[in-house]
Amino acid sequence: MDTFVLISITGVGLGALYFLVASGLSLIYGLMGVLNFAHGTFLVVGAFVGLWMSTQVFHTNSTFAFIVSMIVGGIGAGIFALIMEQLLITRLYNRHIDQALVTVGVALVVGAVLGGWFTNDLRLLPTPPWFINTVTIGKAFIPVDRFLYILTALALLGIFVGILKFTRIGLIIRAGVENRTMVTALGINVKRAFSAVFFLGGFAAGVGGVLIAAYQGGVTPLMAGSWLIYGFIVVVIGGMGSIGGSAVAALLIGITKQFVNYYIPGLGDFVVVILLVAVLLVRPQGLFGKVSA
């Protein structure tokens, strides 16, 4: 029972990190139809901005410094995403092949630049001392940092749902997705609303990048690859454009991977791929996705 509790909570924590990566992908593709293979770059940019804040501005590993670094990392990634959208993506709406080629190019260029500046070695991200502590639930010792990942993911999930459902810009975004031409004819600036989506997606990835760096022990330009793949898997299983679906899929994948790796070491990734194939065969639009007309 103690092992079950430990694996479950650590799986939820891993799923929270997957959600932070996937939520931005789900927003950008599901709401705007932009196939963004540079999303992993947002994660890396956020992680490096957070690293810079921690090591060059605060010079400390306090809780306050880490939280501020996480937020600033998210803002830095959001600004980078916004710049990319303004310079490149606005010219490529409804041109999916061009979007894929351009965003892959951005990912390669930024990865090469960061690798040239900082090398691909893992650079330690200062974390608060309490990150090494554990909480006892029954007889299971749960790492405290997992709860930070979970709380951050829940907070961003609530923020995204609140913005999309209860704010004017969320109404414009949803209306623009349904009929962009009509909304534009009413004199509403849909482009500005879509730019806000890009910023939010980049912000979530940047926050996730800082937390992933804390989870894996440091920052490296190579961290984008595997996490981006899992982000796409989460979005496909959850359903394109469904934030709630991404949250459920991220939990499902995180918990499944932890249990499989515990009982059958090394097969976690394989089982996740099998799960992806099963969902695509049974429900191609994803668990919570809508069938296209």
Of 253 and 290, the structure prediction assigns the larger pLDDT to 253
pLDDT in tens, 141-174: 888 999 999 999 999 999 988 888 888 877 877 7
pLDDT above 80 (res 291): no
pTM for the full model?
A: 0.91
- Per DSSP, the three-state class of 34 is coil
Confidence of residue 186 (pLDDT cuts 50, 70, 90): low
- Residue count of the chain: 293
pLDDT over 70, % of the chain = 95
Q: How many CB atoms neighbour CB 43 within 10 A?
A: 30
pLDDT in tens, 111-137: 899 988 888 888 999 999 998 888 888
Residues 173, 191: Cα–Cα separation, whole Å: 9
> Where does 167-267 have alpha helices with state H?
168-178, 180-185, 190-216, 224-238, 243-263
Q: Is 2-282 CATH 1.10.3470?
A: yes
> Mean of the pLDDT values across residues 255-273?
91
pLDDT above 80 (res 30): no
> Where does 35-167 have alpha helices with state H?
39-52, 63-87, 96-118, 145-166
What pLDDT shows up at residue 66? 93
Helix (H) or strand (E) holding 242: none
What pLDDT shows up at residue 292? 55
Tokens of 95: 């041109």
Confidence of residue 59 (pLDDT cuts 50, 70, 90): confident
What pLDDT shows up at residue 176? 67
What pLDDT shows up at residue 91? 80
pLDDT above 80 (res 67): yes
Residues 156, 64: Cα–Cα separation, whole Å: 19
- Per DSSP, the three-state class of 218 is coil
Q: How many CB atoms neighbour CB 282 within 10 A?
A: 8
What pLDDT shows up at residue 119? 84
What pLDDT shows up at residue 156? 92
What pLDDT shows up at residue 205? 93
Q: How many CB atoms neighbour CB 182 within 10 A?
A: 12
Rounded CA Rg of the chain: 19
DSSP state, residue 219? B
Confidence of residue 179 (pLDDT cuts 50, 70, 90): low
Tell me the average pLDDT of the chain: 87
